[in-house]
Amino acid sequence: MAGPAGADPGGDHSIGWNGREVGMTRPSLNGPKSERDPHGRFRPGNRGGTGNPLAGQVNRLRVKMLATVTPSDLAKVIRKLVKLAQNGDLGAIKLLFDRLFGEPVPLDLIERLDQVEKMLGRMEVST
């Protein structure tokens, strides 16, 4: 797919959703002793970004939970959640709906999509 007229063929710039040029910055390699590889990713052993110190502990707990909770246990929990929601527990209703349908999309996003669709419609008419 060809880019818009005037787009940088090297890929350093692109056109954003609003039709304006958006610059894409490449990570600095900071010379020969850089902590980044040629693709901008951190090299193994860099001194920054040590990660989440609790990740290993959380993973071990998750493994134990998955080994302990049976499909039957999970079905009971889900039935309880549904029962709470049916009885009007707003927290249970929200949790159930969020898990079933995903979190609600902010209205602002919908408005932006409408604007993009209108822009695209105008572009199709003019071509």
Q: What is the mean pLDDT of each run of 10 residues along the chain (127 residues)?
A: 46 58 59 73 75 90 96 97 97 95 80 88 72
63 in any annotated domain: yes
Counting the structural domains of the chain, the total is 1
Q: Is 30 left (phi over 0), alpha (psi -120 to 50) or beta?
A: left
Mean pLDDT of all residues belonging to the chain: 79
* Inside any domain, residue 87: yes
Is 74 domain-assigned? Answer: yes
pLDDT digits (tens, 9 = 90+) for 72-98: 999 999 999 999 999 999 999 999 999
Report yes or no on 65 lying in a domain: yes
52-66 per-residue burial string, b: 16 or more CB within 10 A, e: under 16: eeeeeeeeeeeeeee
Q: What is the pLDDT of residue 6?
A: 45
Element (H, E) at 13: strand 13-15
Residue 70 inside a domain? The answer is yes
Which domain does 62 fall in, by range? Answer: 55-102
The reply to whether 86 falls in a domain is yes
Question: CA–CA distance from 44 to each of 12, 31, 48, 54 (Å)?
Answer: 27, 17, 11, 20
* 71 within some domain: yes
**In-domain check, residue 79:** yes
For residue 41, give the DSSP letter. Answer: P
